[in-house]
Amino acid sequence: MNYDLGRPYMVPMDVAVRACAEAGYRYLDANLCGSSREGQPLAKDGWEKWCHEIRLLGDTLGIQFSQAHAYWTIGDPFLPDMTRADGEWGEELMRRSVIAAEILGVNWMVVHPYTVKQETWYNYSKSFTYNREYFKRWGEIFASHNVGMAIENMGKTSTKVSYCACGDEILEMIDAVDNPMVQICIDTGHAHLSGIEPAQLIRQAGKHLKATHIADNHQNKDEHFAPLNGSIDWPEVMRAIREIGYEESFSFEIHHLTSMYPAVLQRHLINFSYALGEYLMAL
């Protein structure tokens, strides 16, 4: 809940937290990615004060921020000389994400791997080398702030593929980084878009699965729909989650359930999403 009538980042986090608490939620994912965009709290002066205010609000409402999403770039992350397009500011926003997660008491914060492009496809070896060094460095920083890092599976279509769109690449990266505080987030929508059964990817991740992005789509784009609005086999997803003994957050990433509606109506959809989560838990 941060869109208002299709406009992103228009609903403040405190409003969203209150609405989720009223619906019955007690564990939330802090969207620090959205909060890092231009004009948003993490990109402005006074960002640490804002973090403490959100933490206090959560404590007051009985909300635990068990999961978060870190800053990531929009568009091509690399310049032609292979330096990062967001430069030092991107590094600063990631640093702020880590400190914000620590203040909020986040257990696992999700990060995106970066893709080194080769025309419309990707360069596997360069992508692997860049992400290995990037996640080794940031994984140590995350751990020093008592925040776990969860690397997210990305998407693949017939014309474009992102690095870590398959389980083998994510598991290879986890082994290469070799840090128990660097593990995996499974995005069910990304898996489905890539032609991979989300339940299969959950089973492949196994003990390394520490965070989830639960969303549905029709396998043609990353729609971020609520479960049962697309074509994912949800009973099988829930079986897989139980089989691996997953104990972390079952975290919806379904902003397009609410995004086209004005904020005043979104509370009713958030109430529905809580009931939907209860239904899925019982499958």
- State the pLDDT at residue 232: 98
Under a CB-based contact definition with an 8 Å cutoff, are residues 72 and 35 in contact? no
- Residue 208: CATH number of its domain: 3.20.20.150
Task: Establish if 4 belongs to a structural domain.
Answer: no
**pLDDT band of 119, cuts 50, 70, 90:** confident
* Residue-wise pLDDT tens digits, 35-86: 999 999 999 999 999 999 999 999 999 999 999 999 999 989 999 899 999 9
Task: Establish if 35 belongs to a structural domain.
Answer: yes
pTM of the predicted protein model: 0.97
- CA distance linking residue 42 with residue 71, whole number of Å: 10
183: left (phi over 0), alpha (psi -120 to 50) or beta: beta
- Domain span holding position 194: 13-281
Q: What percent of the chain lies above the pLDDT cut of 70? A: 99
- CA distance linking residue 44 with residue 203, whole number of Å: 41
Which pair of tokens denotes residue 217? 């789509």
- CA distance linking residue 137 with residue 181, whole number of Å: 12
Our count of domains for the chain comes to 1
Task: Establish if 75 belongs to a structural domain.
Answer: yes
For residue 132, the number of C-alpha atoms closer than 13 Å in the C-beta half-sphere is 14
Task: Establish if 8 belongs to a structural domain.
Answer: no
For residue 227, the number of C-alpha atoms closer than 13 Å in the C-beta half-sphere is 25
Task: Establish if 60 belongs to a structural domain.
Answer: yes
**pLDDT band of 239, cuts 50, 70, 90:** very high
- CA distance linking residue 268 with residue 283, whole number of Å: 23
- State the pLDDT at residue 160: 85
- State the pLDDT at residue 178: 98
